[in-house]
A and B are shown apart, each in its own frame.
Chain A
Amino acid sequence: MRLRLALRPYLLIAPALLLTCGILYPFGLGLYYTLFDFSASKPQPDMVRLHNYETVFTEDAFWNSAWVTVQYAVGAAAVETVLGVAVALLLHRSSLVGRVLEKILILPLMIAPVIAAIMWKLMLQPSVGVVDHLLKPFGLGGVQWTDTPTGALLSSIAVDVWVYTPFVAILALAGLRSLPTSPFEAAAVDGAGWWYTFRRLTLPMLWPYVLVAVIFRFMDSLKVFDIIYALTEGGPGDSTVALQIRAYLEAIRFQRYSFGISYTIVLWAVVYLAAMVLVRHLGRSQRKAAEVK
């Protein structure tokens, strides 16, 4: 009787636990593989200990990928944050235009990133794409959007921004709508200006919400795959080979399984570290926001 009572919660989570183990198993297996030189050409692998990781860290290709990934993640997260918060602030004014547009805000977010990349790929075609056509009158015609290293990176970031800005905007808007009104009324009575109110009241109280969005966006874009795969496949050259793209190329295209997984493990560690730092920051900003209230 007693035992059954104590066991009940465990019985309830048991199926989920089992399924989780079903996912953890390949993860553990992958970790184990990285200690070998397992590949399609070597199905009976030898133990190489940490040699795969040594290779990863001494390869120029890795550092190039890491740099691409960081540029991509920082660039995308930064633009999305600024643009998303701006859109949220504009929608929060709730003009007639805003109320109508808010209903369709989420559309890009619900489109599969890979489909979004396909859409943009069609639009960015250098000779027949519509973007070129529309920009020609502004003297911006003939830009090689996805065919130059810088252009390819910026184009990928642009697609990310297109898909995920609504994500930041939706969370920021929810934050804005949940802010208490009394501090703003007090500020209005004191005759505070818009900028002062925004910097001293809105931003600190809103920041925890924005930060939740930033955490999600930054960590997701560190492991970008779909958008770059569909838009540039890592090219031209190695210019957009983010870490997961590199891992894919190594493991699936070249069938060097162990080596490919090593890449993802390193990426996983980076994401984990980023998460720790950001979540700690989130805690701090939540306390600060509570003080303002």
Chain B
Amino acid sequence: MTHKKRLLGWLADAALVLYFLFALFPIAWMVILSLKPADQLFSTYFSFTPTLGSYRTVLGDSEGIPFVRFFVNSLVVSVGAVALSLVVGLPAAYASARWRFKGSENLMFTLLSFRFAPELTVIIPLFVLYQKLGLFDTYVGMVWVLQLVTLPLVVWIMRSYFADLTPELEQAALLDGYSRKQAFFKVALPLVKPGIAAVSLLAFIFAWNNFVFPLILTSSSAQTVTVGALSFLGGDRPRYNLTAAAALVSVVPPLLLALTIQRYLVRGLSFGAVKS
């Protein structure tokens, strides 16, 4: 019996390792590819002389692709989108957690439906609209449209955090002599800080990873890394090592952030439907 059990345990671990090989190999392969010199790209698989040349090329803006600029653009529009969503979304999340009223239910439902709406339904009209308004290929235009991604996330998740907070704490603050505004800023807000941190990072990651908005609504000056990385695949000769380097550079920020918010990830990914 114990013998059989141990064998099963090994099998289970082996299956896990197999899955993780599948999950991690592509990342490892990108690292290998990005370190290969161009002349060994097609002649070898695992043995080569590593070089940082690809990274130098990608970050040196050669090849006519201003990748550093794209990186900065990603940073600006993602931070901008999250900041706007927080400023606008926190009060709304608070209101809909504390008061049940028709307007808030409608708002919540509309925001949730954004999460599941095909992006192009909004983007194609915006493509036309932005050209008229002069918002095409601008930061403002990108921050606006990214609200489609970040605002529902912020409002839904923060509502679940506020709802977990007993209203009696704020009521106690009112009776202590504080105004409602002070009760919110001094009591409610500090207590949901972990939630705010988690949701900000998650919203940042989603904004950063977005592809279809910048693909259609930017052309160069506000273009982001996701679109930029893809452009290394174009051209008349394959630049696989550069593509790999660009891909890796563009996934570094989300991966680093993701590892710091592991604990809060479940609630965020499920829009507050599952708590851990």
Interface residues, chain A, CB within 8 Å of chain B?
8-10, 12-13, 15-20, 22-24, 26-27, 29-30, 33, 38, 83, 86-87, 90-91, 93, 95, 97-98, 101, 103-116, 118-123, 125, 128, 130, 133, 162, 165-167, 170-171, 174-175, 177-178, 209, 212-213, 216, 219-220, 223, 225-226, 229-230, 243-244, 247-248, 251-252, 257, 260-261, 263-265, 267-268, 271-272, 275
Contacts and interface: CB of A to CB of B under 8 A. Distances in A.
Given A12-B92, A122-B240, A225-B212, A104 B120 contact: no
Nearest to A178: B276
A25 B121 CA distance: 11
B147 A268 contact: no
Contacts of B120: 225, 244, 247-248, 251, 260-261, 263-264
Given A13-B95, A171-B274, A213-B270, 10 more contacts: A16-B111, A26-B122, A29-B129, A30-B121, A30-B125, A83-B19, A90-B15, A95-B13, A110-B257, A264-B121
5 contacts: A87-B16, A101-B20, A110-B258, A119-B27, A229-B215
Contacts of A97: 13, 16-17
B89 interface: yes
Contacts of A265: 121
**Top 8 A-B residue pairs of the complex, sorted by shortest distance between their CB atoms:** A16-B92, A112-B209, A12-B95, A30-B125, A110-B258, A114-B211, A264-B121, A26-B125
A220 B270 CA distance: 13
B92 A174 contact: no
Given A95-B13, A171-B269, A247 B118 contact: yes
Interface of B: 9, 12-13, 15-17, 19-20, 22-24, 26-27, 29-30, 33, 41-42, 45, 84, 87-89, 91-92, 94-96, 98-99, 101, 103-104, 107, 110-111, 113-114, 116-129, 144-145, 147-148, 151, 155, 180, 205, 208-212, 215-216, 226, 229-230, 233, 240, 243-244, 247, 250-251, 254-255, 257-259, 262, 265-266, 269-270, 273-276
Contacts of A108: 23, 26-27
A29 B127 CA distance: 11
A119 B26 contact: yes
A40 to B, nearest CB: 10
A264 B124 contact: yes
Given A24-B110, A107-B23, A223 B119 contact: yes
B91 A268 contact: no
Nearest to B91: A12
Contacts of B209: 110-115
Given A107-B255, A112-B226, A9 B124 contact: no
B124 A252 contact: yes
Given A9-B98, A17-B107, A115 B229 contact: yes
Contact of A133 (B45, B89, B123): B45
A111 B225 CA distance: 12
A115 B122 CA distance: 23
Contacts of B129: 26, 29
A157 B104 CA distance: 38
A83 B273 CA distance: 21
B210 to A, nearest CB: 8
A257 B124 contact: yes
Contacts of B117: 27, 268, 271
A82 B52 CA distance: 40
Contacts of B243: 118, 122
A27 B118 contact: no
B247 A106 contact: no
B205 to A, nearest CB: 6
A8 B180 contact: yes
Nearest to A23: B148
Contacts of B87: 15
A220 B96 CA distance: 26
A244 B119 contact: yes
B244 A257 contact: no
B269 A170 contact: yes
A209 B274 contact: yes
A252 B219 CA distance: 13
B269 to A, nearest CB: 6
A111 to B, nearest CB: 5
A21 B84 CA distance: 15
Contacts of B216: 248, 252
A133 B47 CA distance: 14
Contacts of B229: 114-115, 118
A122 B32 CA distance: 12
Contact of A170 (B17, B266, B275): B266
A118 B265 contact: no
Nearest to B256: A110
A223 B118 contact: yes
Contacts of B247: 115, 118-119
Nearest to A263: B120
Contacts of B244: 119, 122
